Chains A and B, each alone.
Chain A
Amino acid sequence: MLPAPFEYHAAKSMDEALGLLDTLGEDAKILAGGQSLIPLLKLRFASPAHLVDINGIKELDFIEEGDGTLRIGPLFRHKAAERSSLLASRYHVMADAAPQIADPIIRNRGTIAGSVAHADPSGDWGTVLLALDAELVLRSKSGSRTVKARDFFSGPFSTVLEPTEVLSEIRIPAARPQTGGAYLKLERKVGDFATVAVAVHLQMDGGKVGSAGIGLTAVGPQNIKAEQAEAALRGARLDDATIKEAAALAADAAEPKADHRGSVEYKRNVVRVFTERGLKRAYERARGGG
């Protein structure tokens, strides 16, 4: 099985990659880990005339925390996220999600940015970034713009990225003390995409919720941010009644479709149960526990 013929460009710098995209426009695609793009090319769902490989631009592989922001580069791979002690200590929702993406071999290669740009409604990282209230920096030859994760996705496998733009950086508000998160994923077997998954990120403020982020995977045309559930949590004490209410609101925000993985009712109920469990786990972690 071979992709349709394309011309291959190994970009040596971001400027070179942006220049190529600027000239080639819709005829070109960025190649990052290739773990989603190459299957699409082989199935001929996409047949760009040019691939712009960014793997040779080593400085795009970074994770840095400073000035109130965690910044992640386009070549930061799933495996690096899985092994990151920074993420394990303070960005629990990311640390939880990383080892649940695909299988270990694919994780050696695939990137967080590529996953987000691919915008699979069953992909995990978009949901995580929605819960974390991340911003995405989109760069082109003529400049750059920053969009909120919630404004980035525009449907199944579609985003606001222009053909001339590269997702050049993911920006996440730095975790402050009293932060906790969790990612719960239901899959049929190791390496499978989610039947349902829920991302939770909590910032406690004394005994109350300062802010809460809740994202849902595989229950709609794109990764969903459960904003009503988030609003119900803000400023509240995290007692059982509040958790139940937020979980019910998250379940309402889901728009699942019935398929071989489960019925609509089943998936909605998993969203409810996972939101409850995720909030409890995140709260525990925000208080310094497991």
Chain B
Amino acid sequence: MPIADRVAVRLRVNGEEVAVMVPPYKTLLEVLREDLGLTGTKHGCELGECSTCGVLVDGRPYLSCLAMPLDLEGREITTVEGMADGSEPDPLQVAFAELGAAQCGYCTPAMLLTARALLDHDPHPTRDAIKEALSGVLCRCTGYLKIFEAVELAASRGRRHG
């Protein structure tokens, strides 16, 4: 077994270029949380089952626990910390807060990002399309209903700048 040296990784996270020295076997999840201090991304199962670690890569949801950072150089990574525009939260964040769509909040970052990817691609999704898009993200608290309603509320209000 070789002792793998640290390698330099250049990532684009929430619109900023960052460079870190990390062991190549760390997944994006640990690099985001431990090396970049972005602890909004949660670790749950770490095996692909729960999706609490979900982030966006070029606007599409990816599981950060199953992604290798070196493979994502040059791609645009978005975490929940990158959703707000300065001090103005994303309409999804507002709707989640208003409707109580977060309870313990553990699934919330991935729910928000996955819902953002959905709305960017389909601004007025049906309830079924919302259920399908969020189906991988497990929530043990809310029973999902408030989450679906919050996505619908945000969709009805349109984009922040639109």
Query: Which residues of A pack against B, CB within 8 Å?
Result: 1-8, 10, 31, 34-35, 38-39, 41-43, 47, 49, 51, 53, 55-56, 102-106, 108-109, 190-191
Contact = CB atoms under 8 A, between A and B. Distances in A.
A280 to B, nearest CB: 25
B70 A108 contact: no
Interface in B111-162: 114, 132-133, 135-137
A108 B61 contact: yes
Contacts of B71: 10, 31, 53, 55-56
Given A43-B47, A108-B62, A5 B135 contact: no
Nearest to B67: A34
Contact of B24 (A7, A103, A190): A7
A106 B2 contact: no
A34 B61 contact: no
Contacts of B3: 5
B39 interface: no
B51 interface: yes
30 contacts: A2-B25, A4-B1, A4-B25, A5-B25, A6-B2, A6-B4, A7-B4, A7-B24, A8-B7, A8-B70, A31-B68, A34-B68, A35-B66, A38-B66, A39-B47, A39-B66, A43-B47, A53-B71, A56-B71, A103-B136, A104-B133, A104-B135, A105-B54, A105-B61, A105-B63, A105-B136, A106-B63, A108-B61, A109-B66, A190-B136
B89 interface: no
B60 interface: yes
Given A5-B25, A8-B24, A47-B1, 16 more contacts: A1-B46, A6-B4, A7-B4, A31-B68, A35-B66, A38-B68, A39-B47, A39-B66, A41-B25, A43-B47, A49-B1, A53-B70, A55-B71, A103-B136, A109-B63, A190-B136
Contacts of A31: 68, 71
Given A2-B30, A106-B63, A7 B68 contact: no
Interface in B9-68: 23-27, 30, 46-48, 51, 54, 60-63, 65-68
B136 A191 contact: yes
A55 B61 CA distance: 17
Contacts of B48: 35, 38-39, 102, 106
A213 B20 CA distance: 51
A104 B132 contact: yes
B92 to A, nearest CB: 17
Interface residues of B, number: 32
Interface of B: 1-4, 7, 23-27, 30, 46-48, 51, 54, 60-63, 65-68, 70-71, 114, 132-133, 135-137
Nearest to A37: B66
Nearest to B73: A10
Given A105-B54, A109-B62, A42 B46 contact: yes
B55 to A, nearest CB: 10
Contacts of B114: 105
